[in-house]
Structure 1
């Protein structure tokens, strides 16, 4: 087993940690450095890091505007803003599809990760080639509102999100702890981005009002040139701040997870009871089936967020039972949705939409079963939280593969 995983599994066992260190001191030292950076809130790992790296950290580098990661952030933020604005110009000319706007942001976030934690050539070439192939492929598709092309547009962000995870994890892409750190990064990134975006919205509203008072309407110019540029650049800035262990996002994320999980559980239970009471049927109502799948994805996202924000040495508590209830609820919803999709396929035939929804529901159903079984073992004191987190992180590439399959083959199969 990888030493990083051994350290995480035995974080509450000082005797075992000491034994692992004495057995393989060099490997342990390297793993502690990596593990502590991915779990900065762990006091145990912090003590081990100081013990093993004290000399190296006596004179830490002082914060500076000219630090490598700060400069790279600034340059990439400007490039992301400019690229997004240029892409918007071609979108407005109807020369390319609006989905291309995503290429004004995601590749630059990936570039930030790569520049500040350079991976080996294999990972680097894989990232570069897949981004280039994606961009070329999507601009070869006809600008038509066909189901297969719309599905490709919807699945592209998922594929690029998994690709961004490869850039984040770098050479450690095979480690569960690295993938878990990427999921945590996503939660903290969303919190920080939303917080700063709200401030930007207030500034925008104030600016619009000030110019209206002097008889000028600059809304179109301002949104296309300032707001769009700022939204793209802010993604790089947020990436930098989260990567630099900004305490705001890291400290608030676990509390948000613990607050929202019970609220979501209660809301969904009330909603489902109401649905049964009024007689809504996903088997015959296509729009309700779409809503049902939206609920499923929301529950899955909240559950994964709660799991990833749990500490690796956390014991079972009320939050554990709430998360388990959410997983069971999501499994019930997915089972009903799967049955409705199979019914519609057998009754009305195969279409790109039905096939895509069937595939993703099967993937989610399998993943939920795995997570549920892991949670059951955890609640029975047979394993620790790491087993649950592994059930989440190990499955991530499968979602990426399915997204890639739909993205690159559906427009060809259903042309």
Structure 2
């Protein structure tokens, strides 16, 4: 068979060959015969002056008219093939020097984030397996990483427009550093815990501004940042799982020679790895976007029915038993996270959907998920309101009340827009615009909790 000097073309042929071999009804000799036909087509097409990408696209199409398997391959890979044909290589492919430069920048920033975690040690704030985590580390966890992540996006997106935004990017990060450390929090105070939980949410919008080059009011930019956030969360979990395996082997291997690695694991491996993983995960998300489709929308398809069943089962059980919700801080945080996951499922489903496509079964399932979450939110709000009326206001209850109200508004309007879409009274684009327009609300509320709640409640 003819072998082509065009390496990308050979890689495309290899992908086609691997696809054919995965079909159990196609055996070795048949694969070779089909590949021979494909290569003959490619030779004829390239001799007419077509490029490798153009020839491969046409050859697979011609094969598809003769062979159902090739037709299936062409249908499954049509979007990627058209991207390779239409988009110029120099517009999408980074040069080796650019790729190496980005790798070097990412490694430097990841190491800087890891070392930033150790800077407080110079001032007596040590990380020890035998001591409680100093509150300073918890309050400033996002500040060890987010400024460096912002630098990465400014460097990667670098333009004159972004340079003019340096001040606007620095202001929220500097303000976060001030409000995280200026208040006289007593040890274990509720307002300090609220600051720890809400500061990363408030500062994430600064990272978003850097990501979209300051074009925050562009719906496409905000949607890309939402996709990035979901992908980063997935990658971070995967990296954390790998880090857990590494930690386990570290303990096992050093214990085998009578050494206790607690000081290294607690003082270096976990904190430094957790900080550096944010930079590495962001880089992986950026690198992967041009290669394969995002994972978040795929996982949305998987988890939407599961979370719908969970919420319906919870509501049915609560109605059957008459058991009220336990209004403790951990429970309230759990419910807020659950509702945030529902909002995320809606957002990532919207990010992967064609706005012009008609409603389908999955859209109805999404509406059921949103309505179930809306009922759960209403039940939680009723429990919080009853607790406040009986025992008064506390930082935790007011924070939970505000967050549940914010989520209630989002879910209620989302349900309305979904219902209109399913009845063909409105467009899906309206739902997408609503979700994107609502994103800053979460950061604004989180900033209020960080700035206003500590003095309002006497730092208790």
* TM-score, scaled to structure 2: 0.72
Which one has a bigger Cα radius of gyration?
A: 2
Q: Is structure 2 residue 301 aligned with structure 1 residue 258?
A: yes
Instruction: Rate the CA distance shift 1:224–1:250 in 2: closer, same or farther, 3 A.
Output: farther
Separation in structure 2 between the aligned mates of residue 293 and residue 200 of structure 1, nearest angstrom:
27
Question: For residues 184 and 390 of structure 1, what CA distance do their matches in structure 2 show?
Answer: 15
Question: Counterpart of 2:126?
Answer: 92
RMSD: 3.0
Structure 2: distance between partners of 1:150 and 1:227: 21
Report what 2:40 is aligned to: none
Q: Which residue of 1 aligns with 2:252?
A: 209
Give 1:128's match in structure 2, choosing from 157, 170, 173: 170
The answer to whether the 8 Å contact 1:367/1:395 transfers is yes
Indicate yes or no: 2:115 matched with 1:73.
no
Q: How far apart, in 2, do the equivalents of 1:384 and 1:249 lie?
A: 28
After TM superposition, the structure 1 stretch with the greater mean CA deviation from structure 2, 241-250 or 42-51, is: 42-51
Shift in Å at residue 404 of structure 1?
A: 0.8
- How far residue 286 of structure 1 moved from its aligned partner, in angstroms, is 2.3
State the Cα distance separating 1:193 from its structure 2 match.
Answer: 2.3
**1:350 match: secondary structure:** coil
2 CA distance for matches of 1:42 and 1:108?
Answer: 37
Which runs of 5 or more residues in structure 1 are unaligned? 1-40
How far apart are the structure 1 equivalents of 2:393 and 2:135? 32
1:392 equivalent to 2:427? Answer no
- Contact residue 73 and residue 240 of structure 1 kept, 8 A: yes
Deviations 1:239-259 (A, max 9, x none): 112112357873433221101
Q: Which moved more, 1:326-335 or 1:241-250?
A: 241-250
Are the structure 2 counterparts of residues 210 and 152 from structure 1 closer, same or farther at C-alpha, using a change threshold of 3 Å?
Answer: closer
Give the 5 Å matches for 1:260-299: 260-282=303-325, 285-287=326-328, 290=332, 292-299=335-342
- Residues 389 and 91 (structure 1), Cα distance of their counterparts in 2 relative to 1, 3 Å cut: farther
Higher mean C-alpha displacement, 80-89 vs 178-187: 80-89
Give the drift of 1:56: 5.3
2:445 is the alignment partner of 1:405: no
Displacement after TM superposition at 1:45 (Å): 11
Q: Contact 1:73/1:112 (CA < 8 Å) preserved in 2?
A: yes
**1:111-122 counterparts in 2 under 5 A?**
111-118=151-158, 119-122=161-164
Q: Which has the higher contact order (CA 8 A, sep 6+)?
A: 1
Cα distance per residue 1:207-237 (max 9 Å; x no partner): 2211111111113213321232222212111
The Cα shift of 1:324 comes to 0.9
Match of 1:141 in 2: 183
TM-score when normalising by structure 1: 0.80
Question: Which residue in 1 is equivalent to 2:424?
Answer: 381
How many pairs does the alignment contain? 371
Q: CA deviation at 1:131?
A: 0.6
